[in-house]
Amino acid sequence: MLESILKHKRELMGWTGITAIVVCMFSDAFVTDANATLRFFLLPSGIALVCLALPRSIWPKFGSWWTTD
pLDDT in tens, 13-58: 899 999 999 988 887 766 666 677 788 888 899 999 998 888 877 7
What three-state secondary structure class fits 9? helix
Q: Which amino acid is at 8?
A: H
3 alpha carbon, distance to own chain's centre: 23
The mean predicted confidence, pLDDT, of the chain is 80
Q: What is the pTM of this model?
A: 0.69
CB neighbour list of residue 20: distance below 8 Å, 6 or more residues apart: 42, 43, 45, 46, 49
For the chain, how far is it from start to end, CA to CA, in angstroms?
46
